[in-house]
Structure 1
Amino acid sequence: MEISSEYNQTRIAVPIEFENVFTHFYFAENNSDKAIIKTLLPTYQTILLFCFGESAYLTTKEKNILKVDKCIVFGPIRQSFEYTLPSKTSILVANFKDDAFYRFFGKIHQNTMMNADDLLAENCFTTLWKEISTITPPEKQVDHILSFCLPYLKKQNATSLLLSQFKNKNKNPIKTIAEQTNQSERNIQLKHKAQFGYSSKEINRYNRFLHAIKTIEKEIENKHTIEWFHIIDECNYYDQSQLIHDFKYFIGISPSQYLKFQEDICNPRSE
């Protein structure tokens, strides 16, 4: 856990049996006497966010503001957004992996922020929020959420499993899996979009951007001067303008601006 007198945050790993359901959980708390604003990078994941204390606020790139009283579902997160934590307030975020959200709820609501209880007939997420609000530390809250999730989780189908496990960067996953399963490429594309919430082309672009972010973070950690042409070459960008375009698309600022504001930006994919 990163600990300071004002703001604490930690990434909580999940047990092996849940590694194909959640990438991780994220916990943050504001112990200061004033609100703290952070920027969360895009993850192309759908999240389930619980809030404890005062209401937190999420602000999108389009300046849409959502008040979070107890819990919401948000995603897939294609672009960065700000979150505001009032004094003495904390959040716990479940990050669904690949098609896991679809396996829970049967459909994905594109680019939507919604009350989690709207997904199921019962107000079970409000009940869950009440239960975990009395539990400490956050690792124990995560254990309780994982136990709650088990009855709702459906088995991953064969095509989704192939898509989520595809790692060959030199081949087109849609074309390869279509050939493997005797399906049309169009059919695989539709399944990918419906069950993962985004297209294969979208996630490839995002992964290239994420590689650039991680490369920059590593250079900073090693106290190296950022050489932008090295970043462009390492991450397979055509030129500097394409790199800048991706940064502005995903997080609304240029690469050089990202360096200046990095302390206020949270990368949930960082280990």
Structure 2
Amino acid sequence: MSDTQSEYNGYRISVPLEFETIFSHFYFAENTSERAVTKTLLPTYQTIMLFCFGESASMITKEKTKITVDQCIVFGPIRHSFDYTLPSKTSILVANFKDDAFYRFFGKACISYHTAMNPDDLLSENCFTNLWHQISKITSTQQQVDHILEFCKPYLQDRDSTSQLLSNFTNKNLNPIKTIAEKTNQSERNIQLKQKEQFGYSSKEINRYNRFSKAIQLIEKEIANQNKVEWFTIVDECNYYDQSQLIHDFKHFIHLSPSQYLKFQQDICNPKSE
């Protein structure tokens, strides 16, 4: 991997303010080397739309299912890490949907835990195939992103008030389901069902993921500062019960122990921190 590291280029692209409730960011990666490059993508709990240019890229899921990407697919929410391979002279552009935005586009929040779909199959028309052909002729990545954003505008449905409350809830000391249920005079069960339907995951799932994500961020910060990672500090700051619970979450989300994560970190892509 180290031989091709300098020939693998990946970076995130921010979106304009008017799209910040729809996409968290776009991600671009290209392999300019003469051989295929394989990386590991950390879970994001987001659904993605991935465009591929060049030879077909591929992904291997937790269930060992191989997904081939010829032009465009939708996939997620991404609950576990997966390996993806870019052949030589191939690039990808990834749109990362935020909160309930995928539901607002396609009328469903979840594709599958182990498969992917052509977005045209969700809309029963070939508009995304046509979109791929359009942006494949654009040489500037930023202009490709701008074209996709403009294309998506007519498909976006309005967000309902409950989903807006779920998206904007930031008080970590309160239970969002209970608080929103009381505020909107709905049952907690109704709020839970709405989150599952429109976001693709439960409050319990996302809380566990956010704790793990915070641990990853702290580890990356220590590595960037060339400090030794103190695991008991990570456990304490992320509110883990003990180190074994931290290890359990690492194996659940990325199939690696924390120490293995440190060892293979150069081959792991964390789009949330780039």
TM-score (norm. length: structure 1): 0.98
Where does 1:37-186 land on structure 2 (aligned, <5 Å)? 37-108=38-109, 109-111=111-113, 112-186=115-189
Distance in 2 between residues matched to 1:252 and 1:121, nearest whole Å: 36
1:208 and 2:173 aligned: no
Q: Describe the SS at the equivalent of 1:113.
A: coil
Residue 125 of structure 1 aligns with an amino acid whose one-letter code is F
Cα offsets for 1:14-41 (capped at 9, x unmatched):
0000000000000000000000000000
Distance in 2 between residues matched to 1:93 and 1:175, nearest whole Å: 34
Distance in 2 between residues matched to 1:254 and 1:212, nearest whole Å: 13
Aligned to 1:26: 27
Residue 112 of structure 2 aligns with an amino acid whose one-letter code is Q
Distance in 2 between residues matched to 1:136 and 1:178, nearest whole Å: 48
Aligned to 2:201: 198
Report the alpha carbon displacement of residue 110 of structure 1 after superposing the two structures with TM.
Answer: 3.5
Asked if structure 2 preserves the Cα contact closer than 8 Å seen for 1:25 and 1:94, the reply is: yes
Distance in 1 between residues matched to 2:20 and 2:46, nearest whole Å: 14
Asked if structure 2 preserves the Cα contact closer than 8 Å seen for 1:248 and 1:254, the reply is: yes
Q: Describe the SS at the equivalent of 2:117.
A: strand
| RMSD, aligned α-carbons | 1.1
Asked if structure 2 preserves the Cα contact closer than 8 Å seen for 1:45 and 1:75, the reply is: yes
1:225 and 2:250 aligned: no
Asked if structure 2 preserves the Cα contact closer than 8 Å seen for 1:110 and 1:197, the reply is: no
Aligned to 2:269: 266
Residue 68 of structure 2 aligns with an amino acid whose one-letter code is K
**Length, aligned pairs only:** 269
Q: Which runs of 5+ in 2 are unaligned?
A: none
Q: Which runs of 5+ in 1 are unaligned?
A: none
Report the alpha carbon displacement of residue 5 of structure 1 after superposing the two structures with TM.
Answer: 4.3
Asked if structure 2 preserves the Cα contact closer than 8 Å seen for 1:7 and 1:32, the reply is: yes
Aligned to 1:235: 238
Distance in 1 between residues matched to 2:260 and 2:90, nearest whole Å: 29
Distance in 2 between residues matched to 1:131 and 1:244, nearest whole Å: 45
Deviates more, 1:154-163 or 1:108-117: 108-117
**Residues 114/31 of structure 1: CA separation in 2 closer, same or farther (3 Å cut):** same
Distance in 2 between residues matched to 1:164 and 1:197, nearest whole Å: 13
Report the alpha carbon displacement of residue 59 of structure 1 after superposing the two structures with TM.
Answer: 0.5
Quote the sequence identity (%). Answer: 74
Asked if structure 2 preserves the Cα contact closer than 8 Å seen for 1:99 and 1:195, the reply is: yes
Distance in 2 between residues matched to 1:74 and 1:193, nearest whole Å: 16
Q: Describe the SS at the equivalent of 2:262.
A: helix
Query: 231, 242, 247: which is aligned to 2:250?
Result: 247
Residue 95 of structure 2 aligns with an amino acid whose one-letter code is A
Cα offsets for 1:166-224 (capped at 9, x unmatched):
00000000000000000000000000000000001100000000000000000011111
Report the alpha carbon displacement of residue 4 of structure 1 after superposing the two structures with TM.
Answer: 6.5
Moved over 3 A (4+): none
